[in-house]
């Protein structure tokens, strides 16, 4: 990613942290380094790695039932809706 793409990614994250679930590992690692261990970033990494609900909940300090609704959703990706990753 170039500097402009990095800046845009940080701005997108600050506007809507739910974007983390459709980012690449490279983008997530950049956010992790740039912003820090924020819950949406940590959980998106765990989600992409296939972590259990219990592990994800423990890592971000919530109850597994707080994440259970996600198990009924179809995986969403930016590519599916827009045709590219945007970066």
pLDDT at 71: 59
- pTM greater than the 0.85 cutoff: no
Our separate counts of H helices and E strands in the chain read 6, 0
Q: In tens digits, what is the pLDDT along the chain, a chain of 87 residues?
A: 899 999 999 999 999 999 999 999 999 999 999 999 899 999 999 999 999 999 999 999 998 888 877 655 555 554 544 444 444
CA 68 to CA 12: how far, in whole Å?
26
Q: How far apart are CA 8 and CA 4, in angstroms?
A: 6
What's residue 72's pLDDT? 57
Other C-beta atoms closer than 10 Å to the C-beta of 56 total 22
Cα–Cα nearest to 37, from 48, 26, 45: 45
């Amino acid at each position: 990613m170039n500097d402009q793409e990095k800046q845009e990614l940080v701005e997108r994250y600050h506007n809507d942290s739910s974007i983390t679930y459709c980012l690449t590992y490279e983008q997530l690692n950049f956010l992790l380094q740039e912003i820090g261990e924020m819950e949406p970033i940590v959980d998106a990494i765990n989600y992409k790695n296939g972590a259990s609900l219990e592990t994800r909940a423990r890592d971000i300090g919530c109850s597994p039932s707080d994440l259970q609704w996600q198990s009924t959703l179809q995986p969403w990706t930016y590519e599916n809706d827009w045709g590219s990753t945007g970066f």
